[in-house]
Each structure stands twice: as C-alpha cells, then as structure tokens.
Structure 1
Amino acid sequence: MEFLGYRRPDGKVGIRNHTLIIPTSVCSSTVAFHISQQVPGTVALANQHGCCQIGADYEQTLRTLINLGKNPNVGAVLVVGLGCEGVPIHQVVAEIGATGKPVEVVVIQEVGGTLRATAEGVRKIVELTRQVDHLQPEKINISELSLAIECGGSDFTSGLASNPAAGIAADLLEAAGGNVMLSETTEFIGAEHILARRAKSPEVAEKLFKIVRDCEERAKFSNFDLRDGQPTPGNIAGGISSIEEKSLGCIYKAGHALIQGVLKYGEIPGEKGLYIMDSPGQDVDSVSGMLASGATVVIFTTGRGTPTGSPIAPVIKITANERTFKMMEDNMDIDASSIITGQETIEQVGQRIFNEIIHVANGRKSKAEILGHQEFGIYKIAPTF
C-alpha cells in the first residue's frame, strides 16, 4: 500500500510541505507571527518558552524546537531569534540544516527591531517557500508513515469503543512497518504494569515504570495528588470514575504490538515500531511532543469533543459518542458510535480509521486543518528562573 509523500534530503518522508517559522523564545514569537501573516501558507509556532530555563527543562525545550524543524512535514524553516535568549539560535539553525532542508535565520536585536526583523523575515521566508513550493509528492510505501495517537475530553465511550478502534488502526500501521507513538504518562498510572508486559525487553519495561514513578514524584514534590486532577471534571461528567479506569481506556489506543522503546519528550526514535513517549496528559503539549518525535499524522479520540489541531500535521478526530458527533460534526472526522450501537465491530471501525489515515496521507485535509486549528505548546518540567 502506498501514499503520496515528500521525500526529504535526509530520507525521511512527510505528508505535508510546510514552511515553518520557529521563534526561539517568547520574545520573538510576535515577530514570527507577523512574518507568517504576510506570507500565506506559512506556519509560525507559538513558542512561550526559550529563556531563563535550566537543566532538563532547558534541554527539553531546545530538543523540541530543533526536532520540530526536522519533522518531515516541514520543507523549509525560518528561525526567528531575539538575540539574548537562553536557547542558542545558531545551534537550532545548524541542527535543522544538517537534515539538508533549507534554513534561514533572523535575529531581532541584530537587524534593528520589530519592523526591520519582520521585513527581513518576509524576504527570507518568501525565498524559502519558493525553494520548496515546487516539490511534487511521490509514491511512498506506508511503512514511511509515522502516527501519533492522542485522546482528550474522554468519556465512557472512549475506553469502550474509540480507543480500542484506534488501537486496531495502530496495529495495522505497525504491522506494515510504520512508526506509532503513544504518549500521556499521567494516563498510564494504574495500568503501567499492563503496558509493561508488552515491552520488548526488561530494560524497556523498567523505563516505562520509571517515567510513571517520576511523574508521580513530581506531583508529590509539589504537594499535589494526581488523583485530585485526574480524571478531569469533564471526564467524570462523561462517566469515568477513576484515574485507573481512565488509564485502562487510554492504553487501548496502543493496540497490541511490542513496545520498542520509551522516548523522552520530543525525542526521535531510532527504529520503526511502537514507542511510548513521556509527556503530560495535556493534549496540546502531548501532540507537540510527538510532532517533535517525528509524527506526520495524528489520530485523536474524544468522547466529549475537542476542536484542537496542530501546526504541522493533520489531526483526525474520532468519537464514539453519537451525541458528540452530531453536536460537533464540524470538528469530528470519524463517527465510531456504531460500535456502541452494535452496527460495527471494533475491528471494522479500526479499519475505517486506518483507511482515513491513508486518505489524509494522500492529501485529504482533516477538519482541524480545514478550520485552521494550529494549537501548540511545549511541556515544561521545571519552574522558570
């Protein structure tokens, strides 16, 4: 089976051809946005970090920004820096440029402020766009797809129907040789031992247990019990009774394949197969991390409904709640409520989800794309100093 993709100089394959603007700090985010406004079709990240971060938190932001630029859905990159931020501007440029894709940089303090930086950025982004706009997609085997799996606004239908169906789609892609990523560490709590049974080695299982332990320890250090915030009020209203029930529903999205490894937030996997990524339960931050890890398409299950998308990858929304599909049909791509009513099996809907992934990889826009949803956030793991 094949799809139409863009083969990048480093051999990776994307399903979109974005020209991306990366602000290296919150202080350059407005200039990045102004540049994007003047050149239709470009995308600017809404980076709220990049300065006064330390240790693992700093490293995570740096890794995420660089790897977002490396994402195969990105054809060219303009990096916009302020000039005095913590993130090393020219390191970001160099590491993205090492992939072979065209990269340019504008530093606000060096060119003389907002107006001059915007003008210089527009000039450069136009040239970058010209360099990649002519690229034509080619037929690619589906083993080159990289799938992120997310859930948000869950209710009782999520664990019963849409999540297991998403797991079937994930299994189909993994069996075809593709990459699959599952995130949201907070939603493994109480079910991590079940996931760990599928680890390919004791070392992978221990990494899985460690990210869950570390997550709980961070909450305890803040004098906070995760069970006070999970399930969320919306989850509870939707019929989910406990964090363990939510976790048991969440892990269905990973299907049945062996877990090849556990990734840091925004870390790119070295091999194909199913991976777990350490991330928060916050949907936007979680998806952004998987994009930095190389995901090119996202399936997103929701019971109560959520409109969020992403800046550089199509997000396919799936709900098994018939009322949610009718109320939010503008946002929902797949109605999986036929599982609840008994009209279709989990396997049949999983096949439908897989087919939709292929259609979207071939250029069909998801509803989040059509509506311009580009929500973005980087997971912070320490205070800003």
Structure 2
Amino acid sequence: MDKQNSVKFWGYRRPDGRVGVRNHVLILPTIVCATQTARQITELVQGTVSMIHQHGCAQVGADYEQTFRTYVGHGTNPNVYGVVVLGLGCETHQARKIADEIAAQSGKPVELVSIQENGGTLSAIAKGAKVAAQMVQDASALMREECDFSELIVATECGGSDACSGLSANPAVGVVSDLIVDLGGTSILAETTELIGAEHLLAKRAVDDKVAKRVYEVIDAMEKRAFSMGIDIRTGNPSPGNIRGGLSSLEEKSLGAANKSGTRPLQELIDYAQRPTKKGLVWMDTPGHDIEQLSGMVAGGAQVVLFTSGRGTPTGSPIAPVIKIATNSRMFKNMGDNMDVNAGTIIEGTETIDSVGRRLLEEIRQVSNGKLTKAEILKQHDFGIWRIGPTF
C-alpha cells in the first residue's frame, strides 16, 4: 500500500497542527494528593477524564524529569482539547510549571487550580468544575475534519502473552504496523524487557549504525537494572501467567513480541514518554509493565493503541482508545466484555495473518472516526509512570 492509496479518518485539528481522534478535557492531577479531587470533578462534569496515580512528590533528578515529561505529554496529546491542571500547592511537581509547559508546547486551553490556594478540597472542586464545564462546552463546538493516516501515531503492546501470541495477534499487528508506516504514519514498538533475546533482529533493521548501537545499549541497561537487584530477568520472565499460557523462555516470549514491529526499518529509539522525531517504526524504551508502557507511549503522542493479549486484560487509557486483540478464540469468548478483535481465527485457519492485519487497519479507522473501544465504554482509565529512582 502506498501513500497514493491513503486512508482517511475524521479527526480534531489542534492549535499545534496535530490531530486527535478524541476530544477530551483532561483533569490532570500533578500529585497523588490531588487525584481524588480530580476524580470528583470528572464525576460532576461530563466530557472530562482524569486518572488516579501515586506520583508527583519526593522525586529527584532523572526520575523527576521523566514524571514531568509524562504529565506534559498527556496534556499535549492531540486527543485532549484542553487541560485543567490540578495541584495541591506544596508538591515537587509544581502544577503551574506543568500548566505553562503544556500551554507553550500545544497552544491549547489550559487552566490551573490549586487546592491550597483555593481554600481546600470543596473550593477546588467548585472552581475546577466551573472551568472544566466551560472548556467542555467549547470543545463540543469543535468539528471533525478529514485527515490522513500519516498524521497518526499508533502504539503497540502485548500483555498476558500465551503460546498463540507470536503466531496470531502479534504478527497481525506487525502487518498493520507496516501498513501504517507505508501510509506515512508512525508505529511505536515498546516493552524493552520483552525484546531481550530478539534485539539482534531489530538491530539489523536499524536505519544506521547509531540506531543499531542504541538497540544494544537499552537492552544491556535493562538487564543491568535487574542484575543490580540481584535478579536475572531471564529467570523472572515469562511471568507465571505467560508460563500457564504455554511460553517456556524469555527468548520465546521476545521473538513473539518482536513480531509486532513488522518488517519496516527501525528509524529511531526514543526515551520513555518522549515524542517521536521521525515517521515510520520507532522503538520507545519502556518496561514490560502494561500500564507504565501504555502511559509512556500515550505521553509520546500516540492517539490509538493496539494491545494484544493471550490471557485477557481490561487495560485502557484515560485519553487514548485501546483496541484489545485476542490471540485465541477461547479467550475472546471468555473475555468478551474486554476484547475488541479476535485474531484467534488465524490459529483456526479461517483467516490469514495478512487479512487480520488489514481488518485491524479498518478497526483503527473506525475507532479514529469515533467508534468506542471496550476499555472506553467501561471507563478503564489506567495510568502509571515508570519510576527510575526511589521516593525520597
């Protein structure tokens, strides 16, 4: 498929030129102390979303910077129309600094509310709800416009893998990853821990020696993190659920996970929650933890997420639709409340990897046009940030 046969969708154009597939007003708590207040605002004001988390204070150095980058990345994600940044007032991650950075990078509406400066929780809820309600009304007046797939960043991940993951859903995602790249878009590969043992295959596809060298560096750094805790990650991964699903080794799991990357050249390898600087296939250095990697890729600007699973999971995001793909038909039926697409038909021989990949491309188009995923319907608003250092 080439760019002349481009696929279109209807999205929301933002002031910075990027395109969203959703039009959320985000209530962004910058500190764990403000998360319940944020939740109460979202309960009052339809059209708002938020998240519960444990971050925002007693963090220093690179750990502080990474959390800051993740907050800002969610606020600037094109699926967000505007942001109410909610702080306590005395935390390490000052709400005003985060609000200013979101506004400077995106040009979108941003309002600041401080619990301490507004006289406590009830007053902060009242102010936050008032400004959020106006923002939601303004957002509702924004019309969708026709956009090209080249403007999409699609995140890919797998969670709760089984013996079918590397045979059905993951290679099907690899097909759609190639299609997205060929259409001029961006596909993000993540889960560094689940690529150990397959790094040489990705290094061969690097666009230059610098990217190839970086591949080995991030794999080495991830293994050293485990060794520093007295653990060989190869003995703790696959997880118990993976083993029950039929996986026997980390290499077996990694070879299956790497299938999500398709066959196109690896353009760059970026840090956690960093926005890609190039189109095409991009690797983001993340842990294997489902929620943390999901939050990192969404902070990097991903508007849509493809999530494969052999065991079943309800995982979702507050601001990005997560398309859940079952690796086997039995689990698809058992977890029907949570799964969106069945790739188990590949195992059964009724569909090919290529046909399921193309079906996934159509699913992305429909979801980008407004079709709700199961995770969105169930309000599965998961959020977590990869911690680098200890809490001080």
Stretches of structure 1 that go unaligned for 5 or more consecutive residues are none
TM-score normalized by structure 2? Answer: 0.97
Amino acid at match of 2:173: A
Aligned equivalents of 2:236, 2:82: Cα separation in 1: 40
Q: CA contact under 8 A between 1:157 and 1:321: conserved in structure 2?
A: yes
Runs of 4+ in 1 over 4 A off after TM superposition: none
Q: Secondary structure at the match of 2:167?
A: helix
Report the Cα offset of residue 63 of structure 1: 0.4
- Which region of structure 1 is more displaced relative to structure 2, 143-152 or 120-129? 120-129
Aligned equivalents of 2:375, 2:30: Cα separation in 1: 26
Amino acid at match of 1:162: A
Report the Cα offset of residue 215 of structure 1: 0.9
Aligned equivalents of 2:86, 2:135: Cα separation in 1: 14
**Matching residue of 2:112:** 105
> For the aligned residues, what is the CA RMSD?
0.9
Q: CA contact under 8 A between 1:24 and 1:47: conserved in structure 2?
A: no
Q: 1:384 aligns with which of 355, 373, 391?
A: 391
Q: CA contact under 8 A between 2:268 and 2:278: conserved in structure 1?
A: no
Q: Secondary structure at the match of 1:160?
A: coil
Aligned equivalents of 2:141, 2:313: Cα separation in 1: 35
Q: 1:229 aligns with which of 225, 230, 236?
A: 236
Report the Cα offset of residue 350 of structure 1: 0.7
Aligned equivalents of 2:327, 2:134: Cα separation in 1: 45
Q: Percent of aligned pairs with the same residue?
A: 53
TM-score normalized by structure 1? Answer: 0.98
Aligned equivalents of 2:302, 2:330: Cα separation in 1: 30
Aligned equivalents of 1:87, 1:282: Cα separation in 2: 23
Aligned equivalents of 1:301, 1:130: Cα separation in 2: 35
Aligned equivalents of 2:270, 2:322: Cα separation in 1: 21
Q: Is 1:171 matched up with 2:178?
A: yes
Aligned equivalents of 2:169, 2:45: Cα separation in 1: 38
Q: Secondary structure at the match of 2:112?
A: strand
**Matching residue of 1:343:** 350
Q: Secondary structure at the match of 2:386?
A: coil
- Which region of structure 1 is more displaced relative to structure 2, 277-286 or 86-95? 86-95
**Matching residue of 2:303:** 296
- 1:310-349 equivalences under 5 Å are 310-349=317-356
Aligned equivalents of 1:229, 1:292: Cα separation in 2: 28
**Matching residue of 2:61:** 55
**Matching residue of 1:362:** 369
- 1:203-242 equivalences under 5 Å are 203-242=210-249
Report the Cα offset of residue 371 of structure 1: 1.7
Q: Is 1:133 matched up with 2:168?
A: no
Deviation readout 1:352-373 (Å, 9 max, x if unpaired): 1111111111111111111221
Aligned equivalents of 1:152, 1:167: Cα separation in 2: 16
Report the Cα offset of residue 320 of structure 1: 2.3
Q: Is 1:250 matched up with 2:257?
A: yes
Q: Secondary structure at the match of 1:332?
A: coil
Q: 1:375 aligns with which of 363, 382, 389?
A: 382
Q: 1:263 aligns with which of 270, 290, 295?
A: 270
Q: Is 1:33 matched up with 2:27?
A: no
Deviation readout 1:147-203 (Å, 9 max, x if unpaired): 000100100000111100010011101100011101111001111111111111111
